[in-house]
Amino acid sequence: MSILARSQILKEIEAGRIRIEPFDPEMLGPASVDLHLSNAFRFFVRIPTIVEVTNALDFKRYTKGIWIPDGKSVKLQPGETLLGITCEKVTLPDNVCGWLEGRSRFARIGLLIHISASFMQPGISNHQVLEISNFGHLELEIFPSTPVCQFVFQRTEGHGAYEGIYHEQTPETFWRD
């Protein structure tokens, strides 16, 4: 298994095997592609109960979806987490998987992006949900369209395809209850 460098990512995109919609070559780094926050977010709500962590868990039951207009922002207090979703839809072939990683410029002030479950299965075709946490000491103001994370592509040995419950998630379906 190997990480795809810029030239290989471009070859895969040009061949139509990796699709990123929308895509701009400016998003490409040496071995990753920057992804941007959409306008859709979900805030955790305080509920007077314990959340049972089982396969029946539905995160929407414990969060409230909001749509932030362009030019507006959301504030994230120290110790808080919210969910966001990428503007870009990423589609992978059955022999390429990937990892979502935060960007160091934001990590240096305590903003963690996708702190868990960062592995993206081969064959995905969706917008990526981001677990956004403020581990710093400052209140953070977060704006839609900011390139907050990067997608690292890795070739697999063998083939596989994700067909789980989040297979077709989009910003529009993500934020609605």
Surface-to-core class of residue 92, CB atoms within 10 Å of its CB (0-12 exposed, 13-18 middle, 19+ buried): buried
Q: Is 145 left (phi over 0), alpha (psi -120 to 50) or beta?
A: left
Close Cβ partners of 157 (under 8 Å, ≥ 6 residues apart): 1
Average pLDDT, the chain: 90
Per-residue confidence (pLDDT) for residue 74, from 0 to 100: 96
Per-residue confidence (pLDDT) for residue 78, from 0 to 100: 97
Q: What is the phi/psi pair of residue 81, to 5°?
A: -130, 140
CATH code given to domain 6-46+57-175? 2.70.40.10
Per-residue confidence (pLDDT) for residue 1, from 0 to 100: 65
Rounded average pLDDT over 107-112: 95
- Gap between the Cα atoms of 132 and 115, Å rounded: 7
The model's pLDDT over 135-159, given as tens digits with 9 standing for 90+, comes to 999 999 999 999 999 999 999 988 8
In the predicted structure, residue 122 carries a pLDDT above the cut 80: yes
pTM across the whole model: 0.86
Contact 127, 174 (CB under 8 A): yes
Query: How large a percentage of the chain has pLDDT more than 70?
Result: 93
In the predicted structure, residue 73 carries a pLDDT above the cut 80: yes
Rounded average pLDDT over 119-147: 94
Among 10-24, 32-46, 157-171, the minimum mean pLDDT is found in 157-171
Model confidence at 54, in pLDDT bands (50, 70, 90)? confident
Rounded average pLDDT over 40-49: 84
In the predicted structure, residue 14 carries a pLDDT above the cut 70: yes
DSSP secondary structure letters along 100-112: EEE-HHHHTTTEE
Model confidence at 95, in pLDDT bands (50, 70, 90)? very high
Taking CA atoms, 172 is separated from 64, 81, 149, 158, 175, in Å, by 14, 20, 20, 33, 6
- Residue positions annotated with a catalytic role: 131
Q: What is the phi/psi pair of residue 175, to 5°?
A: -85, -20
